[in-house]
Amino acid sequence: MNILFALIFLSCAFLLLCTSPNAFLTALLGGASKAATLCVSLLATYSVWMGLMKIWEDSRIAKGVAKLLKPATKRLLQTENDEALESASMSFAVNMLGISGAATPYGVKTAQLLDKTENAEYSSAVFFAMNATSLQILPSSLVAVRMSMGSAAPMDILIPTLLTSFFSTLLAVLLTKLFIHPNQKLNFSKKQPLARQAFLAENLKMTGAGTR
Asked if the structure places residue 54 within a domain, the reply is yes
Asked if the structure places residue 70 within a domain, the reply is yes
Res 67: pLDDT: 77
Res 1: pLDDT: 67
Res 208: pLDDT: 45
| pTM exceeding the 0.85 threshold for the entire prediction | no
Give the span between the Cα atoms of 42 and 48, in whole angstroms: 10
Percent of the residues in the chain that have a pLDDT greater than 70, as a whole number: 80
Asked if the structure places residue 15 within a domain, the reply is no
Q: Is the pLDDT of residue 42 over 80?
A: no
Contact 119, 183 (CB under 8 A): yes
Res 62: pLDDT: 66
Would you place residue 200 in the very low, low, confident or very high pLDDT band (cuts 50, 70, 90)?
Answer: low
Res 188: pLDDT: 44
Asked if the structure places residue 118 within a domain, the reply is yes
Give the list of residues 6+ apart from residue 89 with CB closer than 8 angstroms, or none. Answer: 65, 66, 67, 69, 70, 73
Size of the chain in residues: 212
Look up the domain containing 138 and give its range: 27-211
- The domain tally of the chain equals 1
Res 50: pLDDT: 72
Asked if the structure places residue 173 within a domain, the reply is yes
Asked if the structure places residue 19 within a domain, the reply is no
At 161-174, the pLDDT tens digits run 899 999 999 999 99
Asked if the structure places residue 84 within a domain, the reply is yes
Side chain identity, residue 65: V
Distances (CA, A) of 164 to 56, 125, 199: 28, 21, 26
Asked if the structure places residue 170 within a domain, the reply is yes
